[in-house]
Structure 1
Amino acid sequence: MGYTVAVVGATGNVGREILDIMAERGFPADKVVAVASRRSQGTEVSFGDKTLKCEALETTDFSNVDICLMSAGGDVSREWGPKIAKQGAVVIDNSSAFRTDPDVPLIVPEVNADAVAGFTKKNIIANPNCSTAQLVVALKPIHERAKIKRVVVSTYQSVSGAGKEAMDDLFAQTRAVFVSDEVQSKKFPKRMAFNVIPHIDVFMDDGSTKEEWKMVVETKKILDPKIKLHATCVRVPVFISHSEAVNIELEEPLSADEARDILREAPGCLVIDKREPGGYMTPYEAAGEDATYISRIREDPTVENGLAMWVVSDNLRKGAALNAVQIAELLVNRKLLTARAEAA
């Protein structure tokens, strides 16, 4: 007997990706319900070779739903996540609404799968920020071998992390540049085309942005609260995939060759690291792929036990949709969830 799965936010970038990935991976769902806002009710979305019509969130009955994959933004999650969870569905949420809640596990399956058992406290599991997800996949095997003391990361984040409107904005701006039209910015505080913007999310009192703060607190919660982390998050004119330049200070010595070998064997990681032109991964090549790619692995002689690396991943997949589906698979494979139809 398969599961009944609801996808809330099914018309968005991540929602559509979730449906595609569930179909690709053969998730054991007997029934999939596409859910969106009232204005998107009736909109058709694809699930494998099927077409689903979206139901309105406000009128959807979740009483027979086993798993609810939510990707409709923080406000919607804060209002509806607990309501859906109380009806018995396990909510796997892609927003930032529950990530710092001590009673909600924040899960990247390759990194802290055992923590998923804590979902029973609120029936909610949080998906981390997209930039955090790929970072901790790369850091975990290094941390297990040589203990990470400090991380300095600079991100190069694609516009898809800000939603479809942001992707449309970059496309329109790029076209405007080429045809000599006026470049207008609807989504970003400054022009995005042929530019970079060192500002993602709101500014905080200490001068960091909330995106940078998220990377700090989420890495500590997922990996190790003792790790010190400093982030600078930058939006770049790329449609899909985030890249990160990562500098690591370790407690124990670890050569670049050793790190390369460790990462080659690590779940979710794929090392592409030839010291020649083109022997590294770029965001364009990572788009549509599941792996977290690691390149430019080298020792940093400016600190004791220092390493540097380049980390690239499709933010819509590993950073959001794939990770959410992997969490659902974790619940199924560890027999932490019984299909309600089967239990009845």
Structure 2
Amino acid sequence: MNLSPVFTKLVNNLEALPGFPNSKQILLRWTDESLELVDEISESLTLNQLYNELKAYVLPPNKLPLCLTRKPFANLDFELINILIKYTLEYPEKVGRLTDIIRALAGFKRVKPAKFIIVEAHIDLTIVDENLINALLRLGFEFDNFAKIQPEKYKYHFTLEYCINPERSHRARALFELTTERSEEAATLIQNHPHADGYVETEVYSHKDDKRYRFRPMTKEGLQHFPFNSESFRISELPLSVSDAQHKGLPLDIHRVADIHVKLPSHLNYESFKELESKEMDLLKDKLKSCGFYEIMSESANYIYTAHFYNTLESKDVFTKLVQFTENWGGFTGVSREICTKMWRKQSVEENQIILAEAPPLLSVK
């Protein structure tokens, strides 16, 4: 397709930056992408101008309404912003709030393919400082905080994500390897940090396991068909030490193999909010929590109910039943299942024994 002149110029300008690949190779990656061009963007835009616009950028009120950091680039220096611009243009598949802003100011946005593979890594941390933030951003991670999360002590969240056309299997392999490598580098940074505690996980899923729906409010009849109850799952807290693992009868290195996320809108992003305040919707949330799902509030103002499983087949069955329930009775705007390929927890030493960072519990079918 014909690429924006601004985009082509930016890529050609970036070729002079250290470590940036040949611009012809990068432009070739974009030729099969579906792009939406933004109107009224100057074709004379330079890297310095883009840097200044990013430094001054303020999130509009309707974008990530619960995000407290309204100027995401304000504290980043010229070198780091140039790295972020490089990643944004070098990897068409890259996804993230910083990436989206950079592309919009550069004059375009990438349209998400109808069929896709997502490769991503998540970091949850108790504390950060400027050096750790900048180091994670240099690896390609982006801010991805929540207004509410479990465990509550994890206040800082970062995500590295790529959305790949499944027909480009070579790109999927390369970006999976890159995500794994960057996750391991992030784990080293966190392990060596004197104060930060947390964990890193990598995940893979496709459009087949990411269902989206138009919101339909829950009914009394629908509630009677919810497929799970408080007796459906066994909830196991992850062991924190060797002695804790022995007490719980679980391996110390046990971890989730699949996540299931159920999404609901809130009154902040849904105009008919009274439909969300109904007794039936409250009871639906209660049902989710009673069977082991915990509540998250994203900065985009969506409720997300999440559960982690350590049996792949069980997670698939739970996902299928939730999809069937939603298609028949509504209540949810999204149901997704993500395969966890690796999970790392920081190690600390307390009273002469190794303690692993806390992570949410695991569910198994009774």
TM category (shorter chain) comes to under 0.3
Question: What's the TM-score once normalised by structure 2's chain length?
Answer: 0.27
Question: Which structure: larger Rg?
Answer: 2
Question: What's the TM-score once normalised by structure 1's chain length?
Answer: 0.28
